[in-house]
C-alpha cells in the first residue's frame, strides 16, 4: 500500500476573530439596516392594501390600449437615439480620461489623481440629477437627455477602461518601446489594441444601461418615451401606460440580446 503524504492535505481555513474595524463596519451596517427597515413602516395592512391597489392597476391596464401606438413607437425611437448618441460621445470622451487615470499611461501622479476625482464625481452624481441640471441649462427635450447620458457614460466607462488598461500585459508595450517608439505610439499601437475587446464589451453594456436610463430621464422632461409614460400615468390612462411598458420591455430585451451576441463574438 502506498503511503499517503499527509502534508499534502491542509486543514481548511478557520474563522478568525473579527478586527475592530470589521466590528465597526458590521455594527454600522446593522444600524442603517434597522433604521431603514423601521422607517419603511412595513406592516401587514399596508402590504395587503398595496396588493389590492396593484391588482386594480392591472385590471385597468389590461388589455393594453394601442390607439397611440405610432407616436409611442416614435418616442421609443427618440429614446434609442438619445442613448446611442449619448453613449457614442461618452465613450469617446471616456478614453482620454481612462488614459489619464491609469498608472501605466498617466503622465504623473497628480494628473492621475485629478482625473480619478473627476471621473468619480461624474459617476457619483445620478443620471437623473444630471438630467435635471441640463433641463435647466438647455431646456426640455432630447438634448438634455443626451448630455446627461454623456456625463453618466464617462463616469461609468472611464473607470472600467482604466482598470482594463492597467491590467494589460506589459510585453507588447515593452517590445514597441524597445524599437524607439514614443509614448503616444505605444498607447495607440499596443495598449489600446490590447484592451479593445474589453473596451468594446463595456461600451455595449453602456448602451443597454443608457436605454434604461433614457426612459427614466424622460420623466423629468429630458425627452423620449419617458414623457409619454409620465403623461399616461398622471392622467390615469393605465391601459395606454401598459402599452408603453410593453414596448420598452420588448426593445430593451432585443437590445440586450443583440449586445450579448456581439460581445460573444468579440470575446
Residuewise pLDDT in 10s, the chain (267 residues)? 455 555 555 555 565 676 777 888 888 888 888 887 777 777 767 777 767 767 766 776 687 777 777 777 887 888 888 888 888 888 888 888 888 877 777 777 788 788 888 888 888 888 788 888 888 887 777 788 888 888 888 888 888 787 777 777 666 665 656 666 656 666 666 667 777 777 777 777 788 788 877 777 777 766 677 777 777 777 777 777 788 888 888 888 887 777 777 767 766
Cell representation of residue 172: 507588447
What pLDDT is attached to residue 1? 47
Spatial distance between the Cα atoms of 168 and 191, rounded to a whole number of angstroms: 7
- Looking at residue 13, the DSSP 8-state letter turns out to be P
Spatial distance between the Cα atoms of 220 and 210, rounded to a whole number of angstroms: 16
CB 149 within 8 A of CB 87: yes
Residue linked to cell 434604461: 212
Q: Is 140 helix (H, G, I), strand (E, B) or coil?
A: coil
What would be the CATH architecture of the domain defined by 70-266? Orthogonal Bundle (1.10)
Spatial distance between the Cα atoms of 179 and 182, rounded to a whole number of angstroms: 9
Query: What distance, in Å, lies between the first and last C-alpha atoms of the chain?
Result: 49
* Sequence-ordered list of residues with C-beta below 8 angstroms from that of 182, at least 6 positions apart, any chain: none
Spatial distance between the Cα atoms of 205 and 210, rounded to a whole number of angstroms: 9
Burial-class residue 226 by CB neighbours within 10 Å (0-12, 13-18, 19+): buried
For the beta carbon of residue 84, count every other beta carbon within 10 angstroms: 16
CB 262 within 8 A of CB 87: no
What pLDDT is attached to residue 144? 82
Q: Is the peptide bond before 145 cis (omega within 30 degrees of 0)?
A: no
Amino acid at each position: 500500500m502506498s503511503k499517503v503524504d499527509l502534508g499534502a492535505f491542509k486543514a481548511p481555513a478557520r474563522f478568525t476573530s473579527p478586527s475592530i474595524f470589521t466590528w465597526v463596519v458590521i455594527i454600522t451596517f446593522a444600524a442603517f439596516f434597522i433604521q431603514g427597515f423601521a422607517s419603511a413602516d412595513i406592516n401587514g395592512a399596508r402590504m395587503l392594501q398595496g396588493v389590492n391597489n396593484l391588482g386594480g392597476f392591472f385590471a385597468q391596464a389590461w388589455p393594453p390600449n394601442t390607439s397611440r401606438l405610432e407616436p409611442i413607437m416614435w418616442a421609443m425611437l427618440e429614446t434609442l437615439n438619445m442613448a446611442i448618441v449619448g453613449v457614442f460621445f461618452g465613450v469617446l470622451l471616456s478614453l482620454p480620461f481612462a488614459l489619464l487615470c491609469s498608472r501605466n499611461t498617466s503622465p504623473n501622479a497628480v494628473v492621475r489623481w485629478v482625473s480619478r476625482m473627476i471621473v468619480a464625481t461624474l459617476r457619483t452624481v445620478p443620471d437623473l440629477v444630471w438630467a435635471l441640471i441640463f433641463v435647466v441649462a438647455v431646456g426640455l427635450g432630447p438634448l438634455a437627455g443626451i448630455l446627461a447620458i454623456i456625463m453618466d457614460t464617462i463616469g461609468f466607462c472611464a473607470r472600467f477602461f482604466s482598470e482594463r488598461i492597467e491590467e494589460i500585459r506589459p510585453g507588447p508595450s515593452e517590445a514597441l518601446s524597445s524599437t524607439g517608439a514614443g509614448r503616444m505610439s505605444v498607447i495607440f499601437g499596443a495598449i489600446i489594441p490590447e484592451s479593445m475587446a474589453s473596451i468594446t464589451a463595456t461600451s455595449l453594456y453602456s448602451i443597454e444601461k443608457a436605454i434604461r436610463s433614457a426612459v427614466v430621464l424622460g420623466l423629468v422632461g429630458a425627452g423620449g418615451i419617458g414623457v409619454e409614460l409620465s403623461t399616461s400615468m398622471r392622467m390615469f390612462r393605465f391601459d395606454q401606460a401598459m402599452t408603453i411598458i410593453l414596448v420598452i420591455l420588448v426593445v430593451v430585451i432585443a437590445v440586450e440580446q443583440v449586445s450579448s451576441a456581439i460581445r460573444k463574438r468579440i470575446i
